[in-house]
C-alpha cells in the first residue's frame, strides 16, 4: 500500500473562470465551482482557484474480476481484469447496486480508501495474471487522474484498460482517454428523459452523445447495458426506440446486455424484473437487428452465451462468469465463417 498523502491531486480537464471560479470539463455537468466548493460528484474541489481531485489517494476497491463481470463479452473473453474504484459519482441513481461507495461522498461527505499508486495497481494486475485494468464499481470519470496514470503505465506493461461507465463524460474526456482506453461498457439506463431526471438526477442526451462519439470517432470497443426496472423502462415502445438507436447510431455489432433488476438502495421495496420481461426485451433487440444480445443476472440462461447471428452456431458458451467453451477461430464462426465482432477474440 502507498503512503497517505496530505495534499489532494491536481485535477485534469478544467479551466480557470472568473473571480476564482473553475470550470470542470470531465463530465457533462460542466460544473462551475467557486473557491472552497465541490463539484456535483463531491470528489473534486476548487482550492485557491485550482481544481483538485479528492479521491486520487483513496482507492476503496482493488481486486481481480472476470472480464465478463463488467460485463464485457467480446473483449478478451475468459481473462481476468484488475478492478479499481474510488468513491464518488456524478449520478444519483435510486437503484444503485454500489451505493455504499458511489453515494457516500454525496450523502455524508465521506471519501474512504487507501493510497495505492498507479505503479502498485499495475504491478498487482500483472502479478494477478490479469490482462486488463478495469475502472469500475463507481463512475471512472470522477477519478480520471488515477485512471489515466494507471492506464498509461498499464499499456507499457501490455495491459488493456476498460471503463464501466454511465456515459456522462464529455467528448473532451473521451478524447483525453482514447490513447490508453481500449474498451468500455456504457449504461444506457433508459430511453426516456423523464427516467433519467427522476431516477438518476441526470439527463439522457449526453449519454446518447457519448455512445455516438465512441462508436463513430474512436477505436474503443464498446458494449451497452440496460438494467430493466419493472414499470419504469420496460415498455415495448421504449425498448424498441432504445434498440433502434443502438443499431442506427452505434451499429448492429455493439453487444447489448439486458440486466435483471433486484431491489436495493432506495428501490428496496420494488420487485425483481420478471424473466418474461427480459426475454421480451431480447426479442425486441433481435427485431431491431442487433447481432449480440445478452441477459444478465439470470444464471444458467442460454442468453448468457454468444451465438453466430448468421447461422446460429454456439461461439462462446458461458455459465455465469465462466467460459465453458470458446469455439471462435481467427475471429470467425467456425461453421459459416462469419466475422465475430470484438477485440482480441
Segment 189-209, tens digit of pLDDT: 999 999 999 999 999 999 999
Output the DSSP codes for 33-90: E-TT-B-TTSSEEEETTEEEESSTT-EEEEEEEEGGGTT-SSBSTT-EEEEEEES--S
**What is the pTM for the complete model shown?**
0.96
What is the per-residue pLDDT across 286-305, written as a single tens digit (0 to 9) for each?
999 999 999 999 988 999 99
Nearest to 139 by CA among 92, 107, 191: 92
Instruction: Quote the crossing angle between the two packed helices 118-127 and 144-156, to the nearest 10°.
Output: 50
From 3.40.50.2000, 3.40.50.2300, 3.20.20.70, 3.10.20.30, which CATH number describes the 59-296 domain?
3.20.20.70
What is the per-residue pLDDT across 48-80, written as a single tens digit (0 to 9) for each?
999 999 999 999 999 999 999 999 999 999 999
Instruction: Quote the pLDDT of residue 7.
Output: 79
Instruction: Quote the pLDDT of residue 269.
Output: 83
CA 183/CA 161 separation, integer angstroms:
7
What is the per-residue pLDDT across 226-274, written as a single tens digit (0 to 9) for each?
999 999 999 999 999 999 999 999 999 999 999 999 999 998 888 999 9
Q: Where exactly are the structural domains of the chain?
A: 9-53, 59-296, 305-345
Task: Give the residue carrying C-alpha cell 477519478.
Answer: 143
Amino acid at each position: 500500500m502507498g503512503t497517505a498523502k496530505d495534499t489532494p491531486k491536481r485535477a485534469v480537464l478544467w479551466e480557470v473562470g472568473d473571480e476564482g471560479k473553475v470550470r470542470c470539463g470531465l463530465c457533462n455537468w460542466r460544473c462551475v465551482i467557486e473557491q472552497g466548493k465541490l463539484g456535483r460528484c463531491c470528489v473534486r474541489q476548487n482550492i485557491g482557484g485550482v481544481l483538485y481531485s479528492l479521491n486520487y489517494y483513496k482507492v476503496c476497491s482493488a481486486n481481480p474480476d472476470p472480464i465478463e463481470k463488467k460485463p464485457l463479452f467480446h473483449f478478451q473473453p475468459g481473462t481476468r481484469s484488475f478492478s479499481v474504484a474510488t468513491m464518488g459519482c456524478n449520478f444519483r441513481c435510486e437503484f444503485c447496486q454500489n451505493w455504499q461507495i458511489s453515494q457516500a461522498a454525496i450523502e455524508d461527505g465521506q471519501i474512504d480508501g487507501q493510497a495505492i499508486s498507479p505503479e502498485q495497481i499495475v504491478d498487482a494486475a500483472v502479478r494477478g495474471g490479469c490482462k486488463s485494468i478495469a475502472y469500475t464499481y463507481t463512475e471512472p470519470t470522477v477519478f480520471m487522474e488515477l485512471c489515466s496514470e494507471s492506464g498509461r503505465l498499464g499499456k507499457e506493461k501490455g495491459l488493456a484498460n476498460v471503463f464501466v461507465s454511465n456515459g456522462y463524460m464529455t467528448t473532451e474526456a473521451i478524447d483525453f482517454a482514447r490513447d490508453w482506453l481500449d474498451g468500455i461498457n456504457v449504461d444506457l439506463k433508459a430511453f426516456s428523459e423523464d427516467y433519467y431526471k427522476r431516477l438518476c438526477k441526470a439527463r439522457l442526451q449526453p449519454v446518447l452523445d457519448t455512445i455516438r462519439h465512441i462508436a463513430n470517432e474512436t477505436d474503443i470497443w464498446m458494449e451497452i447495458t440496460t438494467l430493466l426496472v419493472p414499470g419504469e423502462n420496460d415498455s415495448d415502445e421504449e425498448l424498441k426506440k432504445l434498440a433502434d438507436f443502438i443499431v442506427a447510431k452505434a451499429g448492429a455489432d455493439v453487444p447489448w446486455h439486458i440486466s435483471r433488476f433486484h431491489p436495493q438502495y432506495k428501490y428496496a421495496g420494488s420487485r425483481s424484473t420478471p424473466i418474461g420481461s427480459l426475454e421480451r426485451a431480447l426479442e425486441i433487440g433481435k427485431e431491431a437487428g442487433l447481432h449480440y444480445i445478452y441477459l444478465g443476472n439470470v444464471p444458467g440462461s442460454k442468453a448468457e452465451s454468444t451465438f453466430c447471428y448468421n447461422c446460429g452456431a454456439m461461439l462462446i458458451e458461458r455459465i455465469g462468469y465462466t467460459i465453458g467453451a470458446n469455439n471462435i477461430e481467427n475471429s470467425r464462426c467456425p461453421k459459416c465463417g462469419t466475422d465475430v465482432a470484438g477485440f482480441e477474440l
